[in-house]
Amino acid sequence: MTLGIIVSLFGLGTMLVLLFTLAIYAVPFFVGLTVGMWAFETGAGVIGAVVVGLVAGVIALFAAQLLFASVRSLALRAVIALLFAAPAAVAGYHAVLGISALLVPSETWRHIFAAIGGLAVGVSAAVQLAAFAGAGAQPRQATAGRPDAEFAEDAGPDQPRLPSPSTARLPTPSSGSRG
């Protein structure tokens, strides 16, 4: 009995981690599946339908990320994020509802947990979309210095780069010459 509870909790945790990780792909998966089914019904065959569906899903994902990154209006960004978050929230709700049936005997509490899980998965999908689209879209900081100065090698892409100590030295008072 105890082992069953531990395994169920481990399975629930694993499924929730997968849901949070894959939540951003709910809409591209749906687009790819729909286009793939259409391709199969129009005579593309199984292999052709899979290829067409994969290409359509990848295009949908990158188009949404590009659109989210290029749009500056907060209202349009919210609509795009909602288009990704709503299906993920519904999928998260049903997944948590199904998994909670293993652990929670009360139907009311299962729906409460499923609503919380669906909300968390939907928010996770919107955050992941913003993170994917925002990667590399942040403005770079300008650095002042000589154009030929060496820059520190250990600075990351979003950190201001300062000249390394070996090339940017101030003259000592004894080495300065006064006319």
Q: Which helix (H) or strand (E) holds 128?
A: helix 107-134
In Å, how far are 14, 17, 91, 152, 169 from 117, measured between CA atoms? 14, 11, 10, 45, 56
- pLDDT, one tens digit per residue, over 109-149 is 999 999 998 898 888 888 887 777 665 455 444 455 544 44
Q: Which residues contact 12 (CB under 8 A, 6 or more apart)?
A: 99, 100, 102, 103
Is the pTM for the entire model greater than 0.85? no
Q: What is the mean pLDDT of residues 14-38?
A: 82
State phi, psi for 151 to the nearest 5 degrees: -110, 155
User: In the numeric block, which tokens belong to residue 103?
Assistant: 């652990």
Q: What is the mean pLDDT of residues 162-174?
A: 56
Q: Which residue has the tokens 């403005």?
A: 139
Q: Which residues contact 152 (CB under 8 A, 6 or more apart)?
A: 161, 162, 163, 164
Q: What is the mean pLDDT of residues 100-106?
A: 84
Q: Distance (Å, rounded) from C-alpha 171 to C-alpha 43?
A: 77
Confidence class of residue 103 from pLDDT cuts 50, 70 and 90? confident
pLDDT at residue number 162: 54
Where are the domains positioned within the chain? 9-134
pLDDT at residue number 158: 59
- pLDDT, one tens digit per residue, over 42-100 is 999 999 999 999 999 999 988 888 888 888 888 888 888 888 888 888 888 988 888 88
- Cβ atoms of 77 and 64 within 8 Å: the answer is no
Residue 14 has pLDDT above 90, yes or no: no
pLDDT at residue number 108: 92
pLDDT at residue number 149: 46
